[in-house]
């Protein structure tokens, strides 16, 4: 049986009366790369911060490697590497001082790994953190999160501020860590990066998980984007049938995303004279948008 | 141990500054003693003509000011005032600065319990206070002894100075519990200075008032130099009150800190 790195059970957090997350239940298997997508304010950070015991759940529970996130926080945190969405470190400290301070919390020698990682990330250890650009601070965050070879890497909006080349290096690093056996939980509102890295995603909206799916299923589920030009006018709602979303009619051009039996569409199309036709795979973003705007 | 060391490093500069301010101010005020003692009669006259509230702020019986140690007791009032600001700053800042400077996410996702974090921070502050008080005592002992021509009641002098340490502990613990109970602290200095001056104002009022109970409200009045000079000891009721405030504040701080949500940026 595959063991779970993370397992949450009806995790709920209210800030006073304001909703944080409600009944969030999901699990991340060991060795898996799991994505968490949703717009800002959906509850991604709240979930992550609860897992890290930075905040305490109103109800429900979360386990990491079989241990309770709150009650056994130090044990759990030993095995986690965390990169927050925005990195802030102590003023006046040099990069290497900060990294050594970070390493001092783990009972292992991290010197070699610090050296390796900073070389990979092209990070100058002797600079003062105050003098670093946003992107370079982010690199400090990455090294800081990986220097103790954690078994679970948690990333909150990891790529903001990194240039594409560094992003690539970072993703390579994550994939290496993953091959080594580390599970990864990353939150993002950029679907491309989730699509690239993750095995499974949870889509979170207004504090609730509305969909848990394998990336492959999400892309494979027969979603098609149709677009065509017609010769003669047809009623605007001609294609407004079940399974059709994002229907747009501009003059003689009709377009929509369709989920379901394609023959339904081809049958309807056979009654229409076309001048042009496009049919292709919608990207995850479109599928995602469509879930967001229509379901729940 | 790593958090303890880190805190000492972070607070090194401000500690040096505070030590200079407190020791410097007390020494500076002491330098006026030889001038004043030469012309004590007219000085007493000025003191007598002050409005009662001002007398309260000066906070020492006029008769005591004639001796070097008595005059030191008057100067010590300002030591207490600035010492209180130093300790209130530390109390309000030591935990809240992690949230304000957004380093809480770093520290609190390390494998260490919050109890250990708070304990390390408390020990570092205790170290800072001890160092501050030792340096202060060495400096003022030298200055006061030279003024007193070597004739100094060491016991009373030490009792006065020890009260700085005790008052600092009280203000620190009050600041700590306030900062942890509050959701967000925007500016440490404005809150700490505000609170200290509030206690200072109450203190002036307490001196003027016949009601002794008022003295319980302000830690500035717990260890009166007049009493120390006259009786050579502290008043038990206030020592107990101070101890209870420190214990209650620290225990409450631990309880609150253990359950506190650390919010994101």
> Quick one: which of A120, A114, A91 has its CA closest to A102?
A114
Question: Is residue B264 a part of any domain in this protein?
Answer: no
Sign of CA dihedral B176, B181, B182, B183: positive
Which residues of B fall within a CB distance of 8 Å from A102?
106, 110
Which residues of A fall within a CB distance of 8 Å from B101?
88, 90-91
In chain A, which residues touch B (CB < 8 A)? 15, 45, 49, 52-56, 73-78, 80, 82, 84-86, 88-91, 101-102, 104-106, 144
Q: pLDDT per residue over B172-198, tens digit each? A: 999 999 999 998 888 899 999 999 999
Q: pLDDT per residue over B78-121, tens digit each? A: 999 999 999 999 999 999 999 888 899 999 999 999 999 999 99
Q: Give the confidence band of A1 by pLDDT, cuts at 50, 70, 90.
A: low
CATH code for the structural domain at A221-294: 3.30.70
Which residues of A fall within a CB distance of 8 Å from B6?
90, 101
Q: Give the confidence band of A101 by pLDDT, cuts at 50, 70, 90.
A: very high
Strand ranges inside A190-243, DSSP E? 200-205, 208-214, 223-230
Own/partner pairs, A244-251, CB within 8 angstroms, 24+ separation: A245/A290, A245/A293, A245/A294, A246/A286, A246/A289, A246/A290, A246/A293
As a whole number of angstroms, the distance between CA A238 and CA B37 comes to 105
pLDDT of residue B58: 63
Q: pLDDT per residue over A22-69, tens digit each? A: 999 999 999 999 998 887 788 999 999 999 999 999 999 999 999 999
Which residues of A fall within a CB distance of 8 Å from B109?
52, 54, 77, 80, 82
Q: Mean of the pLDDT values across residues B5-29?
A: 95
- B57 has a pLDDT exceeding 70: no
Of B10, B110, B264, the CB nearest to A45: B264
Instruction: Identify the helix (H) or strand (E) that includes residue A31.
Output: none
In chain B, which residues touch A (CB < 8 A)? 2, 6, 10, 101-106, 108-113, 259, 261-265
Residues 6+ apart with CB under 8 A from B222: B163, B166, B167, B170, B215, B234, B235, B238, B239, B241, B242
Q: pLDDT per residue over A254-274, tens digit each? A: 888 888 888 888 888 888 888
Question: Is residue B51 a part of any domain in this protein?
Answer: yes
Which residues of A fall within a CB distance of 8 Å from B110?
77, 102, 105
- B129 has a pLDDT exceeding 90: yes
CATH superfamily of A4-218: P-loop containing nucleotide triphosphate hydrolases (3.40.50.300)
Residue owning tokens 């942890």:
B180
Q: pLDDT per residue over B38-54, tens digit each? A: 777 777 777 777 776 66
| 3-class DSSP state of B184 | coil
Question: What is the domain count for chain B?
Answer: 1
Q: Mean of the pLDDT values across residues A276-282?
A: 85
pLDDT of residue A126: 94
Cβ distance A74 to B108 less than 8 Å, yes or no, reads no
> How far away is chain A from the Cα of B265, in angstroms, using its nearest Cα?
8
User: Mean pLDDT in chain B?
Assistant: 89
- A125 has a pLDDT exceeding 80: yes
pLDDT of residue B52: 66
Q: Give the confidence band of B37 by pLDDT, cuts at 50, 70, 90.
A: confident
> How far away is chain A from the Cα of B1, in angstroms, using its nearest Cα?
9
On the 0-12 / 13-18 / 19+ scale of CB atoms within 10 A, A83 is: buried
Sign of CA dihedral B154, B157, B159, B164: negative
> How far away is chain A from the Cα of B136, in angstroms, using its nearest Cα?
28
As a whole number of angstroms, the distance between CA A64 and CA A72 comes to 9
Residues 6+ apart with CB under 8 A from B247: none
User: Mean pLDDT in chain A?
Assistant: 88
- B224 has a pLDDT exceeding 70: yes
Task: Count residue pairs from A and B with Cβ separation < 8 A.
Answer: 63
As a whole number of angstroms, the distance between CA B60 and CA B227 comes to 10
* Residue boundaries of the structural domains of chain A: 4-218, 221-294
Question: Is residue B164 a part of any domain in this protein?
Answer: yes
User: Helices marked H in chain A — which ranges?
Assistant: 44-51, 73-78, 95-103, 111-121, 134-146, 164-180, 191-197, 215-220, 262-269, 284-294
As a whole number of angstroms, the distance between CA B206 and CA B217 comes to 9
- DSSP per residue over B114-130, as a string? HHHHHHHHHHHHHHHHH
pLDDT of residue A296: 41
As a whole number of angstroms, the distance between CA B145 and CA A69 comes to 59
As a whole number of angstroms, the distance between CA B78 and CA B58 comes to 9
- B251 has a pLDDT exceeding 90: yes
Question: Is residue B265 a part of any domain in this protein?
Answer: no
């Amino acid at each position: 049986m595959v063991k779970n790195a993370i397992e949450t059970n009806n995790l709920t957090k209210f800030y006073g009366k304001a909703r944080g997350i409600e009944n969030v239940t999901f699990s991340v298997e060991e060795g898996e790369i799991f994505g968490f997508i949703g717009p800002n304010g959906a509850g991604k950070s709240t979930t992550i911060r609860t897992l890290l015991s930075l905040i305490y759940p109103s109800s429900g529970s979360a386990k990491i490697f079989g241990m309770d996130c709150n009650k056994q926080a130090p044990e759990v945190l030993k095995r986690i590497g965390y990169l927050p969405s925005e990195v802030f470190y102590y003023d006046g400290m040099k990069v290497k001082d900060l990294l050594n301070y970070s390493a001092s919390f783990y009972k292992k020698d991290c010197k070699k790994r610090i050296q390796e990682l900073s070389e990979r990330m092209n990070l100058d250890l002797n600079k003062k953190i105050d003098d670093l650009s946003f992107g370079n601070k982010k690199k400090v965050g990455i090294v800081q999160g990986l220097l103790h070879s954690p078994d679970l890497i948690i990333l909150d909006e990891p790529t903001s501020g990194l240039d594409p080349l560094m992003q690539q290096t970072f993703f390579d690093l994550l994939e290496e860590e993953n091959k080594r056996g580390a599970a990864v939980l990353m939150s993002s509102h950029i679907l491309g990066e989730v699509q690239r890295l993750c095995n499974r995603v949870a889509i979170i909206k207004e504090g609730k998980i509305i969909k848990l799916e394998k990336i492959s299923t999400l892309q494979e589920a027969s979603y098609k984007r149709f677009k065509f030009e017609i010769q003669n006018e047809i009623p605007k709602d001609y294609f407004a049938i079940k399974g059709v979303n994002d229907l747009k009619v501009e003059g003689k051009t009709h377009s929509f995303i369709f989920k379901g039996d394609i023959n339904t569409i081809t049958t309807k199309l056979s009654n229409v004279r076309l001048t042009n036709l496009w049919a292709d795979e919608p990207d995850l973003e479109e599928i995602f948008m469509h879930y967001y705007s229509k379901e729940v | 141990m790593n958090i303890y060391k880190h805190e000492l490093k972070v607070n090194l500069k401000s500690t040096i500054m505070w030590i200079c301010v407190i020791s410097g101010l007390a020494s500076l005020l002491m330098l006026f003693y030889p001038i004043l003692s030469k012309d004590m009669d007219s000085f007493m006259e000025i003191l007598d003509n002050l409005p009662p509230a001002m007398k309260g702020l000066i906070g020492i019986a006029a008769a005591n000011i004639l001796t070097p140690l008595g005059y030191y007791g008057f100067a010590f009032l300002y030591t207490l005032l600035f010492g209180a600001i130093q300790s209130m700053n530390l109390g309000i800042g030591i935990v809240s600065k992690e949230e304000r400077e957004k380093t809480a996410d770093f520290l609190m996702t390390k494998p260490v319990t919050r109890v250990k974090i708070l304990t390390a921070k408390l020990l570092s502050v205790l170290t800072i206070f001890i160092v501050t008080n030792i340096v202060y005592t060495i400096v003022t002992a030298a200055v006061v002894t030279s003024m007193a021509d070597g004739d100094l009641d060491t016991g009373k002098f030490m009792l006065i100075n020890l009260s700085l340490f005790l008052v600092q502990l009280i203000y620190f613990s009050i600041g700590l519990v306030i900062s942890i109970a509050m959701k967000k602290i925007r500016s440490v200095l404005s809150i700490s200075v505000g609170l200290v001056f509030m206690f200072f104002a109450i203190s002036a009022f307490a001196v003027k008032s016949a009601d002794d109970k008022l003295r319980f409200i302000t830690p500035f009045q717990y260890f009166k130099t007049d009493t120390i000079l006259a009786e050579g000891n502290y008043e038990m009721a206030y020592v107990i009150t101070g101890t209870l405030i420190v214990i209650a504040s620290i225990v409450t701080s631990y309880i609150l800190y253990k359950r506190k949500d650390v919010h994101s940026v």
